[in-house]
Chain A
Amino acid sequence: MRGLTRDLVVTAALAVLLVFLPAVLREVFGRASVSYLSLATNALVLAVLALSWDMLARTGQLSLAHAAFTGAGAYTVAVLFKLTGAPLWLGIPLGGLAAAVLALGLGSVTLRLFGIYFAIATLAFTEVLKAAVQRLPTAVAGGAAGINVPALFRPTFVAGSMERWEVAFLRNQGYFWVYAGLLVVAVVISVVIQRSRLRAAFTAVRTNEQVAGVMGVNPARMKLLAFVLSSFVAGLLGAVEAHRLGSVSPDGAFSVHTTVLALVTPIFGGLYTTLGPILGATVLAGIEETLKRTFSEGYLIGYGIVLVASILFMPRGLVGLGSKLFKRGGASASGTTGERA
Chain B
Amino acid sequence: MGRALEISGLRAGYGKITVLWDVDLHVDEGELVTIIGANGAGKTTLLRTISGLVQARAGSMSAFGATSLLGSSAARIVRSGIGHVPEGRQLFPLMTVRENLESGAEYLSRAKPNAARNRKLVFDLFPRLAERGAQLAGTLSGGERQMLAIGRALMSDPRLLLVDEPSLGLSPALSLTVFRALRQINADGVTVVLVEQNVQQSLSIADRAYVLENGEVVKEGSGRELLGDPGVRAAYLSL
Q: CA of A211 to CA of B83 in the docked complex: distance in angstroms?
A: 11
Q: B residues within 8 A CB of A252?
A: none
A210 CB–B CB distance under 8 Å: yes
Return the chain B residue nearest A197 by Cβ.
Answer: B106
Return the chain B residue nearest A218 by Cβ.
Answer: B75
Q: CA of A203 to CA of B103 in the docked complex: distance in angstroms?
A: 10
Q: A residues within 8 A CB of B94?
A: 203, 272
Q: Are B84 and A214 in contact (CB under 8 A)?
A: yes
A202 to chain B, nearest CB (A): 10
Q: B residues within 8 A CB of A201?
A: 106-107
A30 CB–B CB distance under 8 Å: no
Q: Are B106 and A207 in contact (CB under 8 A)?
A: no
Q: Are A215 and B86 in contact (CB under 8 A)?
A: no
Q: Are A216 and B95 in contact (CB under 8 A)?
A: no
A-B pairs with beta carbons under 8 A, tally = 67
Q: Are A215 and B107 in contact (CB under 8 A)?
A: yes
Q: B residues within 8 A CB of A197?
A: 106-107
A114 to chain B, nearest CB (A): 16
A133 to chain B, nearest CB (A): 38
Interface size on B, residues (CB 8 A): 30
A200 CB–B CB distance under 8 Å: yes
Return the chain B residue nearest A214 by Cβ.
Answer: B84
- Which chain B residues (100-158) contact chain A, with CB distance < 8 Å? 102-104, 106-108, 135-136, 139, 152-153, 156
Q: CA of A83 to CA of B52 in the docked complex: distance in angstroms?
A: 51
- Which chain A residues (76-124) contact chain B, with CB distance < 8 Å? none
Return the chain B residue nearest A211 by Cβ.
Answer: B90
Q: When the two chains form the complex, which single residue of B48, B52, B156 contacts A215, counting CB atoms closer than 8 Å? A: B156
Given contacts A213-B73, A215-B156, contact A200 B78 (CB under 8 A): no
27 contacts between A and B (CB under 8 A): A200-B92, A200-B107, A203-B92, A203-B95, A203-B103, A204-B92, A204-B103, A207-B90, A207-B92, A208-B90, A210-B86, A210-B90, A213-B51, A213-B52, A213-B73, A213-B75, A214-B52, A214-B77, A214-B78, A214-B84, A215-B106, A215-B152, A215-B156, A216-B75, A217-B75, A340-B135, A340-B136
List 7 additional contacts besides A200-B95, A213-B75; criterion CB under 8 Å. Answer: A200-B92, A207-B92, A211-B90, A214-B74, A214-B153, A215-B106, A215-B156
